[in-house]
Amino acid sequence: MTSALAQLVTVLFVPGHRPERFGKAAASGAGAVILDLEDAVAEADKEKARAAVASWLSAGGEAVVRINPPGTPWYEDDLEVARAHRCPVMLPKAEDPRAIAALGLPVIPLVETASGIEDATAVCRAGNVVRVAFGSVDLATELGVRHDDTLALAFARSRLVIASAAAGLAPPLDGVTTDLTGTAVLEADVEHARRLGFGGKLCVHPKQIDVVARGFAPTDAELDWARRVVGAADSVSTVDGQMVDLPVLERARRLLARG
């Protein structure tokens, strides 16, 4: 499962205390499921959620587990479950590469604090990081801005994209879209994230999966352009009146690989 995490486009959160939803989530078409022991679970339900997640994993279910962050009363017990099943974990409030390395498991750091954004390069370069995700809602709360304000969070998003690339990671996963009233807001969020260089998105409802998958897929026009660029075959050529050199050729090849 670890190698597949680098290729994910859609990742679906499921509350850890709702085991009746685990199977439905696994069959939803999402690239991966995150069983959430953190924000989606009230304190009174933490133990129940942990037991449900352990049962699902013991029965052969596959998932990423979002554990509670270090320093909370539930961290050690959450981590024990993840280690027992050798499953990837999502670490919330990710800031310290030493804390990430100490997990001893494949990790998706959820970067959602100002300190995490400032130290994004070090976070991305921790040896067991397989992909980075953006926690837009928590960061916006810390900054005192709206979590759906793309301008206010543009720097943070771009910072994660650059840090991921510098560390040789796949493009990061964008944060959730909380608007479930239709598809317009989600489509706009996906378009914005893709333009900034993100490679996928965290989802909070199964109905978001197809929209996100389509939004991050190369368009027919992009694939047509890529085929013509690759077909030019020269290290330096012209396509549609634009110079094509090796970096442009490489982008075309990557688009075709995703298509």
Residues annotated in the binding site for substrate, as ranges? 66, 112
**What is the pairing mode between strands 237-239 and 242-244?**
antiparallel
Are the beta carbons of 164 and 124 closer than 8 angstroms? yes
Region of 175 on the Ramachandran plot (φ > 0 left; ψ -120 to 50 alpha; else beta): beta
Tell me the three state secondary structure of residue 65. strand
Q: Which residues are annotated as a binding site for Mg(2+)?
A: 112, 138
Name the phi and psi angles at 243, rounded to 5.
Answer: -65, 135
> Which amino acid does the sequence have at 235?
S
Long-range residue pairs from 76-81, CB within 8 A, at least 24 positions apart, any chain = 77/50, 78/37, 78/50, 79/103, 81/50, 81/53, 81/54, 81/57
Q: Which residues are annotated as a binding site?
A: 66, 112, 138
Whole-angstrom distance, CA of residue 56 vs CA of residue 50:
10
Whole-angstrom distance, CA of residue 233 vs CA of residue 237:
8
The candidate with the shortest Cα–Cα distance to 200, out of 9, 2, 6, is 9
Question: What element of type H or E holds 107?
Answer: strand 107-111
